[in-house]
Structure 1
Amino acid sequence: MSKSKIDDLGFLELSPGTDPVVDIVAIHGLDGHREETWTTDDGILWLRKFLPPDLPNARILSYGYDADTQSKECVSTQTMRRHAEGLAQALSRQRTHAPRRPIIFIAHNIGGIILKWALVICHNQNPESKCDLRDILVSTHAILFFGTPHSGLEGTTLLTTINRFASMYTKTTNVLLKDLENHSSELETVQSLYVAASEKINSIFFCEEYETHAERNRRRMVCCKFRPVDSMLIMP
């Protein structure tokens, strides 16, 4: 993995906040990036530009993980659950000095599924563990899900086929796509476990009405269609 790609992983503090009273944590989705996902076509990273003036007491963090399905360098074979473990542990380290500070999550696409897994991991953690991930769960006040495919992505078979052809000239992986098939066992499992973990969390769901080109100037198009039943499945 190149140094530039490694540098894009983990947490990036977009705003430290003035005497912060809340952490706003953004998590990108499939083929996403911790800065570019939240950047407009004219180059404005809106989490950094627009939130601090309205929320001066909020610390704003963006989390990066390798969700690339195609890359000329290398691709990750991590499952959503493994990505979630990394997210939970990294966030715990970020909050050492304020472990009970309230959290508001902003999750796009499969970032929402990974976040759900992370909160399940926090909920089920052994109380004897040295790193207390449960602080993350009890501090989570709200989640904004942007186009999160709670029941799966439509068109994963097509995307898998495209990846198969693309593998002739670049490195590809279908690990995340496989987990995103409609009503996959992975999604069914996290959903059943998440209901108990999210009992006291306020969730807001945003629907993607239009197709969105894959991020980072890729030629593929990924359309995440959000179905009304998804919100019904999540509401405690």
Structure 2
Amino acid sequence: KNKVHWLRDANMLPKKIPHAKISVFHYQSQWFGRGSVDERIDNVASKLLHGLDRSRANETKTPIIFIAHCLGGIILEKALLMSRSRQKDFPNVYPWIAGCFFLGTPFHGTSSQSKAMVLASMAEVAGWATPSTLLKVLEKDSEILRSLLTEFSFMARDAQIRLLCFWEENDSDLVNYLIKGITWVKSKERIVDQSSATIESFDSLSLMADHFNLNKYGLGPKDGNYTAVSDELRETAAKADGIIKTRQN
């Protein structure tokens, strides 16, 4: 299947933004440990910050642009809030954040039980929680998601961070995610629709992709979705120094 990795392929993002240092954060299921879903989110967000802060400790400080897909965006929201409130612990992160790109992040949850089940199943594979515990969190405008987004949006506006949300135009094939014994789940559905994947008063763009391919660009540099995302990344990178200076002033 798709063997092109847009973050590593020499003809893709490394060529588009040649001076960028591109890093990928992989979280492991054992990091989540026990406890409630929000406690586990805190744990992984903290791991992200510790790793990023250490990697930048002995380097010339450069602006940071984050890219997150699906539930990774929830982790990123929490991590950025923690980076601001704990600047003494993570001095190399918050002052340098210039942009955040979200690909299909369910900021507002979903009113569809079938969609919530798919997202919950994805989270179970990653080690977040069992589907039953996460379904409550993924309910439309759940308290956890609403509170997190309210605080995050305020911080992003105050810090003048450039946020851009991408949402899927195509339905996803859910055959591999159907739960055994449940026959009413649709075989194709929009997993995270525009209303859930966007944040009021921040920029958003649609991609001609299903949920699972928002971050996969099999046609290489000529892929239309890649062009849309990478052009915005390049523009944000060009403006990043100005964003940082404005905040520091």
**Shared fold by TM > 0.5?**
yes
Equivalent residue of 1:46, what SS?
coil
Give the Cα separation in 2 of the matches to 1:158 and 1:223: 5
Which residue of structure 1 lines up, in the alignment, with residue 70 of structure 2? 109
Q: 1:90 aligns with which of 51, 55, 79?
A: 51
Is residue 18 of structure 2 the alignment partner of residue 45 of structure 1?
A: no
What TM-score do you get using the length of structure 2 for normalisation?
A: 0.59
Q: Is the 8 A contact 2:99 2:163 kept in 1?
A: yes
Please, what is the CA RMSD of the aligned residues?
3.5
CA change 1:101–1:156 in 2 (3 A) is farther
Structural mapping, 1:92-171, within 5 Å: 92-98=53-59, 100-125=61-86, 129=88, 131=89, 133-156=90-113, 159-160=116-117
Is residue 138 of structure 2 the alignment partner of residue 192 of structure 1?
A: no
Give the Cα separation in 2 of the matches to 1:163 and 1:120: 24
Query: In the TM superposition, what whole-angstrom CA distance separates every residue of 1:104-128 from its partner, at most 9, and x where no partner exists?
Result: 1111111112111101111111x6x
Deviation at 1:186, TM superposition (A): 1.0
Unaligned runs of 5+ in 1: 1-40, 68-72
Q: Is the 8 A contact 1:143 1:204 kept in 2?
A: yes
Which residue of structure 2 lines up, in the alignment, with residue 10 of structure 1? none
CA change 1:60–1:186 in 2 (3 A) is same
Q: Is the 8 A contact 1:211 1:224 kept in 2?
A: no
Deviation at 1:226, TM superposition (A): 2.5
Is residue 174 of structure 2 the alignment partner of residue 206 of structure 1?
A: no
Which residue of structure 2 lines up, in the alignment, with residue 12 of structure 1? none
Which residue of structure 2 lines up, in the alignment, with residue 63 of structure 1? 25
Deviation at 1:85, TM superposition (A): 1.7
Structural mapping, 1:15-30, within 5 Å: none
Which residue of structure 2 lines up, in the alignment, with residue 232 of structure 1? 200
Deviation at 1:225, TM superposition (A): 1.6
How many percent of aligned residue pairs carry the same amino acid?
25
CA change 1:204–1:162 in 2 (3 A) is closer
Equivalent residue of 1:207, what SS?
strand
Deviation at 1:163, TM superposition (A): 7.5
Structure with greater helix percent: 2
Q: Is the 8 A contact 2:100 2:161 kept in 1?
A: yes
Which residue of structure 1 lines up, in the alignment, with residue 191 of structure 2? 223
Count matched residues.
177
Q: Is the 8 A contact 1:100 1:136 kept in 2?
A: no
Give, as a single letter, the amino acid of the residue that structure 2 aligns with 1:138: P
Give the Cα separation in 2 of the matches to 1:183 and 1:109: 16
Q: 2:137 aligns with which of 157, 179, 183?
A: 179
What TM-score do you get using the length of structure 1 for normalisation?
A: 0.62
Which residue of structure 2 lines up, in the alignment, with residue 25 of structure 1? none
Unaligned runs of 5+ in 2: 179-187, 204-249
Structure with greater strand percent: 1
Equivalent residue of 1:44, what SS?
coil
Deviation at 1:80, TM superposition (A): 2.2
Q: Is the 8 A contact 1:147 1:205 kept in 2?
A: yes
Deviation at 1:91, TM superposition (A): 1.3
